[in-house]
Structure 1
Amino acid sequence: MFMLICLAMLLVLLAIIFFSNKRSFLSALLVLETIVLASLLISISLLWVWGNSLFLFVLLLTFGVCEAGMGLSLLLSYIKITGNAIISASCAM
């Protein structure tokens, strides 16, 4: 139970870091991937305690892979267009 509380606090902390990150797309993508990893660990812990099937884990893993692929393709497109991965004030709006 203590591990679940720690993972939930980590998830909240990572969400705060993600929403406060306004400079680089790459660091935002890394925080998003860490959030997906933390949610996978929480789902595995809950499934281990409850003894249910692995449907939730597979679903979260699928969403994580799709999010990573889309994020990297958007990052590469943005870098091709602008030449860097830094978010400027004109592009943020």
Structure 2
Amino acid sequence: MLNLMTCSLLLLGALYIYFFSIKYRFLSALLVLEAMVLLLLIFTVALTFTMLDSLSLYFFVLTLSVSEAALGLALLISFGKFKGNDLLNSKMYNF
């Protein structure tokens, strides 16, 4: 279990760095965020099985990840309707 926790934390750090290097695509940024949440969920499962007795932390992170996914999808759809694509640029706030 410690190897799983260490591996998930290392991948989470790598995805964190990759997330801030994404500059042009909104969908890619959302996919990286979803992968980060999935790794956080794996980490909480490993933490729950090794140190804690209840699954309350797991359900809390699961609830936050579902709400984050719904909010991200709503933002992507509204951004796509507004701009016509998911490209991010510096002129996106000029009307």
The alignment's TM-score, normalised by the length of structure 1, stands at 0.93
Residue 47 of structure 2 aligns to which amino acid in structure 1? Answer: L
Counterpart of 1:64, as a letter, is S
Which segments of structure 1 move beyond 2 Å, counting only runs of 4 or more? none
Q: Give the equivalent residue in structure 1 for 2:17.
A: 16
Match of 1:65 in 2: 66
Query: Within 2, Cα distance between the matches of 1:29 and 1:85?
Result: 11
| Length, aligned pairs only | 93
**Cα 1:81–1:89 shift into 2, 3 Å:** same
SS in 2 for 1:89: coil
Q: Where do 5+ consecutive residues of structure 1 fail to align?
A: none
Match of 2:3 in 1: 2
Unaligned runs of 5+ in 2: none
